Structure 1
Amino acid sequence: MTVSRETFDVLVVGGGHAGIEAAWAAAQLGARVGLVTTNPDRIGLMPCNPAVGGPGKSQLVFEITALGGLMGRLADATAIHTRTLNQSKGPAVRSLRVQVERDAYAVEAQRVLLAHPNVQAVRGEVAHLWIEAGHLCGVQLVDGRRLAGRAVVLSAGTFLSGVVWYGRQSRPAGRQGEPPARFLSQSLRAVGHRLMRFKTGTPPRIRADSVNYGALEVVPPDDPPGSFTGTPGPHAAAMPTWTTRTTARTHRLIQENLHLSPLYAGDIEGIGPRYCPSIEDKVVRFADKDSHLLFVEPDGIHTSELYLQGFSSSLPPELQEEMVRSLPGFERAVIQRYAYAVEYDAVDPTELTPGLQSKKLPGLFTAGQINGTSGYEEAAAQGLLAGVNAARFAAGEPEVHLPRESGYIGVLIDDLVHRGVDEPYRMMTSRVELRLLCRADNADERMVPYAVRWGLRPKADLERVEAKYARVRAELERLARVRVDGVSGLHYLRRPEASYAALLERGLGPEVPLTPEEAYQVEVRAKYAGYIERQIRLRERLRELSAYRLPAGLDYRTVHNLSREAMEKLERVRPATVAEAARIPGLRDSDITALLVHLARTREPAGA
């Protein structure tokens, strides 16, 4: 057996969105990173929709950007269409969605990541984790090479024992045209991890010159364009997108051919995402609907392909032809790449720490779809945190994490490691209890302090953010003293028709004008002051429960009045605090009370 001459601090397995952020974060902290992938030219490839963001997801990207990650930067650099969703709703749910040039995104990701002096791409397929005497030493490749690493991040996406389905025909693959990771599942089981089987899918790609755009409804880009970094790319408003709808003929074709679907025929064992179902699943589950909205999105400015969002399917290719041509505008459409479903293995995320480290094998971290999530943004967020902690582990430093109340990434990780998943997890604004405090627009205020503390950003960045919000607070204090129509400026802004811009037009602004971003913060904080105060009180109550720490070696059999179900779940998850225990599905209020009483009796209450 040969051993590679290269010894890395961190080995990252997989070059998708999780792998990119893990490698970048670890490298930024000074770790020597080996990025192991079967083909470095596929790093950053977007195998599904050519877009970043959307409800719940854009909030993740703003937080990744504030923490010093790459996803927002890459999306802005390659944007061809931006649109802010939920504009008519409150600021908590407004979400940016950036359509990107798909191929350019991958090129830009490779250019930026592989230019980092601490990152080296290693071509190869990982066969096994390299473990000696119970300690993780690195990974072993299928060609016999061993790569030494103090920490390993697995970000294998849908490749773990992946199988793709076209109708009832299947073949091993991680995604279209690429082989699966054939051996890693066995390695994970060997160290004690429980694996689950999940499923996802992708729509067909349509030849752009075969579509009748006159029959489609145009969705124009925002003007001016939005961005994650504050600097829109040069082509951010270059393209429209379009919409069409399914028809009665579409639904009839699907209903008459469900026996050809591997999902309905029982061939697929994996559980699919509830919030991103296939078109056949939507037709069956929502039989009362006459049609379903579909989004037609270009893969680039000069692309030959269109992405048909909302039309994911695992039905046979010949049937897909008829289904697509039943859509308005697609009567003569030509499919360049057919839709398919993919089944893959995922680890049980309750077997991970809040820093995404395996509880079974120190030094092993996992991120992305391997943890039971779906979506680029969820994967990138996990990759960043796993990369930070892998670098810290390699340097002998303690693990860090983001508390739930800090924002969307905190909620995502907390849900995964304490609640677990029984289907691919998708981030949504409704999952976040404190979403009015954790908006996309104040991600810098919440995340930059962590980024600086962890070493991902310089202290000067924090000073700029602190100065920005000091100006916002000063303006709110000034408005409390200004009289407008007989009331204070703050009370004036709480009127539905009032705006900060109207105050400025009346000459009631500060001597030194605020930036547009600062002015927006003033208006939001004034207009929603009552709701924000309510959420601040809720945050404090959640923190109180978090102060009650559970001893690491607590024998839950000694806790009086604890239900058997609670005992089993607490033993498996091993929460650090009562707050974490309260979020485990199946635990009742009486179980939480039993824990608090036990802590009081054993003099282990507030973790002072």
Structure 2
Amino acid sequence: MRAFDVIVVGGGHAGIEAAWAAARLGVRVGLVTSNPDRIGLMPCNPAVGGPGKSQLVAEVEALGGLMGRLADATAIHTRVLNRSKGPAVQSLRVQVDRDAYALEAQRVLLAHPGVQSVRAEVAALWVEQGALRGVRTVDGRRLAAAAVVVASGTFLQGVVWYGRQSRPAGRQGEPPARFLSQSLRALGHRLMRFKTGTPPRIRADSVDYARLEVVPPDDPPETFAGTPGPHATARPTWQTRTTAATHRLIRENLHLSPLYGGDIEGIGPRYCPSIEDKVVRFSDKETHLLFVEPDGLQTSELYLQGFSSSLPPALQVEMVRSLPGFEQAVIQRYAYAVEYDAVDPLELTPGLQSRRLPGLFTAGQINGTSGYEEAAAQGLLAGLNAARYAMGLPEVHLPRDSGYIGVLVDDLVHRGVDEPYRMMTSRVELRLLCRADNADERLVPLAVAWGLRPQADLERVRAKYARVQQELARLERVRIEGVSALQYLRRPEVGYAQVLERVGPPPHPLSPAEAYQVELRAKYAGYIERQARLRERLRELEAYHLPEGLDYGRVPSLSKEAAEKLGRLQPRTVAEASRIPGIRDSDITALLVYLTRVTA
């Protein structure tokens, strides 16, 4: 028998961050995968970040995680999206070298002395007398651990579809996890059936690039962790569009789709639809934008983002060749859909621990989410709490107002999911306060307190923002054209560099990141203050705790819908109740009046 403190099942983005976070706390981690060479593999888009997702990566980085560092090291194209919009929605997107990313993840993670790779398929959770003891493998081994993190991705009872033909698989070319679903059900967990998909990979030398629109990388490149890799501006990406011929082929052959033919039971992500879904759901659109992205510096494949499909391979060839620039294209790997089991996240605590079995944690797509970034964020939190459980420490979590990870987990464990969850900026009430650029200010103090980062990192962050505040105070004191330099900087046409030309540089020169903070905080001061007031209002509602097992049918003036939803979801506070879809302001007022009466 091999003994660990924490076992992590799965080597995807959730598993990597879980193992890394747990090891940072000094515990012994067993990373169990069926093939260690596939750790860090990117089975879908070889990119990190984008709207709503780059903020998650920035927060993972602030908490001491790996994803941002790995993306920077293996970047081949970087671009900041939404530059013309406000700072709350600006998002870094990094195209990475797919194979290099996996190799870098393996190099960094497996070099940690606290992480040991174990090649095995987990058959079941090992439970004795109601207590978790570890895991049992298909070949009969028992691996002991105080805590287990299941980060199984799309592998639980995975089935891939090419047209109406299917076969068991976790993803292309890899077998599914055949037995673990049964073990989770036996412990009382409710499982859901979800689906996702991936586009075809096109042979790069079969594309006519002259017919595509070039999207150059930003130069100089932006980064997640501060240090750009050697190839961050090495490759452009391109754009093309679907055509009338593409749409005709899809409409005429919908009966060959396993989704529209009724073969697939799993629910797919509404915000990342297949090309079939796009053509059907947005029938008024004549074309759909597609992004053509290289898989790496050495690979021969292009990733056709936006063209996810489960139609038969022969039809995929016709569809691809209907696109401008792809008339002679050769598909190297066909698109497919994958169905898999997921647990109901309503059965999890805010620290991602099972409410059914203490010591069991889950992270990533098994929790009903989609996306690498969502998986990494959950993995870090689950790994941190698994290590704390093994050490006899209480569970910790990120409150909703702390940032995107807090919103993600709060949505999962208190609202639940009925489709694969994708993080978007619109989900975050305090998004101007929870930007990617200030993730260090918000979260490094927690990372240090939890043992994920050294004290020196906190001292550097405090010194950075002290310099920012000193400069804002200086600009408040000096005058330009009869107003303070700070007021002058708030004019839309004025930049910080122009202000410095008038008032001179600060006593201690600021870094570019610090100068950006000065200008941003000056220009958006009114909006930031407004969101700060909203945060206080939400915190007030958090102070009103709802009794466990409250009979909401007896709360006067509460709507029938609210009583049903609140009774089923059992929110802990009025703030949590206010975020449940369908709960109205009048319902919140009724709860506050009721609580005031019963506690008077």
| Distance in 1 (alpha carbons) for counterparts of 2:211 and 2:585 | 56
The question of 1:417 aligning with 2:413 is answered yes
Give the superposition deviation at 1:222: 0.3
| Distance in 2 (alpha carbons) for counterparts of 1:478 and 1:406 | 29
The 3 A distance-change label for structure 1 pair 351 and 562 is farther
1:484-503 to 2 correspondences below 5 Å: 484-503=480-499
Which residue is equivalent to 2:339?
A: 343
Which of these residues, 85, 108, 111, is aligned with residue 112 of structure 1? 108
Give the superposition deviation at 1:427: 0.5
User: 1:319-339: CA deviations, max 9, x gaps?
Assistant: 000111111111111100000
Asked if the contact 2:244–2:287 (Cα under 8 Å) also holds between the matched residues in 1, the reply is yes
Give the superposition deviation at 1:350: 1.0
Q: Secondary structure at the match of 2:468?
A: helix
Give the superposition deviation at 1:575: 2.6
Which residue is equivalent to 2:92?
A: 96
Which of these residues, 504, 522, 527, is aligned with residue 518 of structure 2? 522
Give the superposition deviation at 1:556: 5.2
Which residue is equivalent to 1:479?
A: 475
Q: Secondary structure at the match of 2:419?
A: coil
| Distance in 1 (alpha carbons) for counterparts of 2:128 and 2:566 | 30
Deviates more, 1:501-510 or 1:31-40: 501-510
TM-score by length of 1: 0.96
The question of 1:387 aligning with 2:383 is answered yes
Asked if the contact 1:57–1:378 (Cα under 8 Å) also holds between the matched residues in 2, the reply is yes
Deviates more, 1:377-386 or 1:184-193: 184-193
Give the superposition deviation at 1:549: 2.3
Which residue is equivalent to 2:43?
A: 47
Which residue is equivalent to 1:78?
A: 74
Which residue is equivalent to 1:586?
A: 582
Q: What letter matches 1:72 in structure 2?
A: G
Which residue is equivalent to 2:11?
A: 15
| Distance in 2 (alpha carbons) for counterparts of 1:81 and 1:490 | 36
User: 1:130-178: CA deviations, max 9, x gaps?
Assistant: 1111111111111111111111111100111111000000111110011
| Distance in 2 (alpha carbons) for counterparts of 1:105 and 1:137 | 33
Which residue is equivalent to 2:127?
A: 131
Q: Secondary structure at the match of 1:152?
A: strand
Asked if the contact 1:91–1:436 (Cα under 8 Å) also holds between the matched residues in 2, the reply is yes
Which of these residues, 314, 318, 325, is aligned with residue 322 of structure 1? 318
Give the superposition deviation at 1:92: 0.6
Which residue is equivalent to 1:468?
A: 464
Q: Secondary structure at the match of 2:445?
A: helix
Asked if the contact 1:126–1:142 (Cα under 8 Å) also holds between the matched residues in 2, the reply is yes
Give the superposition deviation at 1:569: 3.8
Asked if the contact 1:218–1:240 (Cα under 8 Å) also holds between the matched residues in 2, the reply is yes
Which residue is equivalent to 1:537?
A: 533
Which residue is equivalent to 2:358?
A: 362
Which residue is equivalent to 1:280?
A: 276
Asked if the contact 1:76–1:228 (Cα under 8 Å) also holds between the matched residues in 2, the reply is yes
Give the superposition deviation at 1:80: 0.5
Give the superposition deviation at 1:599: 3.2
Deviates more, 1:333-342 or 1:139-148: 139-148
Give the superposition deviation at 1:480: 1.1
| Distance in 2 (alpha carbons) for counterparts of 1:556 and 1:257 | 50
Q: What letter matches 1:171 in structure 2?
A: R
Instruction: Name structure 1 gaps, 5 residues minimum.
Output: none
Give the superposition deviation at 1:284: 1.1
Q: Secondary structure at the match of 1:506?
A: helix
Asked if the contact 1:351–1:573 (Cα under 8 Å) also holds between the matched residues in 2, the reply is no
Give the superposition deviation at 1:465: 0.5
1:135-214 to 2 correspondences below 5 Å: 135-214=131-210
Give the paired residue count: 600
Which residue is equivalent to 2:572?
A: 576
Give the superposition deviation at 1:562: 4.9
User: 1:386-428: CA deviations, max 9, x gaps?
Assistant: 0011011111111100011111001101111111111111111
| Distance in 2 (alpha carbons) for counterparts of 1:489 and 1:29 | 46
Which residue is equivalent to 1:308?
A: 304
The question of 1:435 aligning with 2:431 is answered yes
| Distance in 2 (alpha carbons) for counterparts of 1:108 and 1:473 | 38
User: 1:222-246: CA deviations, max 9, x gaps?
Assistant: 0101110111111101111111111
The 3 A distance-change label for structure 1 pair 345 and 465 is same
| Distance in 1 (alpha carbons) for counterparts of 2:140 and 2:182 | 17
Q: What letter matches 1:327 in structure 2?
A: L
Asked if the contact 2:480–2:502 (Cα under 8 Å) also holds between the matched residues in 1, the reply is no
Asked if the contact 2:478–2:503 (Cα under 8 Å) also holds between the matched residues in 1, the reply is no
| Distance in 1 (alpha carbons) for counterparts of 2:559 and 2:341 | 32
Q: Secondary structure at the match of 2:145?
A: strand
Give the superposition deviation at 1:552: 4.6
User: 1:465-523: CA deviations, max 9, x gaps?
Assistant: 01111111111111111212222112111211110011123343312221110000000
| Distance in 2 (alpha carbons) for counterparts of 1:511 and 1:452 | 30
Q: Secondary structure at the match of 2:78?
A: strand
Give the superposition deviation at 1:596: 2.8
RMSD over aligned CA atoms reads 1.5
| Distance in 2 (alpha carbons) for counterparts of 1:133 and 1:402 | 32
| Distance in 1 (alpha carbons) for counterparts of 2:542 and 2:353 | 21
The question of 1:406 aligning with 2:402 is answered yes
Q: What letter matches 2:544 in structure 1?
A: Y
Which residue is equivalent to 2:291?
A: 295
| Distance in 1 (alpha carbons) for counterparts of 2:532 and 2:6 | 39
| Distance in 1 (alpha carbons) for counterparts of 2:162 and 2:267 | 17
The 3 A distance-change label for structure 1 pair 144 and 566 is farther
Asked if the contact 1:156–1:370 (Cα under 8 Å) also holds between the matched residues in 2, the reply is yes
Give the superposition deviation at 1:591: 3.9
| Distance in 2 (alpha carbons) for counterparts of 1:191 and 1:572 | 21
TM-score by length of 2: 0.98
Q: Secondary structure at the match of 2:528?
A: helix
Q: Percent identity?
A: 82
Which residue is equivalent to 2:254?
A: 258
| Distance in 2 (alpha carbons) for counterparts of 1:392 and 1:549 | 26
| Distance in 1 (alpha carbons) for counterparts of 2:549 and 2:131 | 22
Asked if the contact 2:200–2:335 (Cα under 8 Å) also holds between the matched residues in 1, the reply is yes
| Distance in 2 (alpha carbons) for counterparts of 1:558 and 1:458 | 51
Q: Secondary structure at the match of 2:4?
A: strand
Asked if the contact 2:27–2:114 (Cα under 8 Å) also holds between the matched residues in 1, the reply is yes
Asked if the contact 2:192–2:341 (Cα under 8 Å) also holds between the matched residues in 1, the reply is yes
Instruction: Name structure 2 gaps, 5 residues minimum.
Output: none
Q: What letter matches 2:65 in structure 1?
A: G
Q: Secondary structure at the match of 2:251?
A: helix
| Distance in 2 (alpha carbons) for counterparts of 1:562 and 1:290 | 46
Which of these residues, 238, 244, 249, is aligned with residue 240 of structure 2? 244
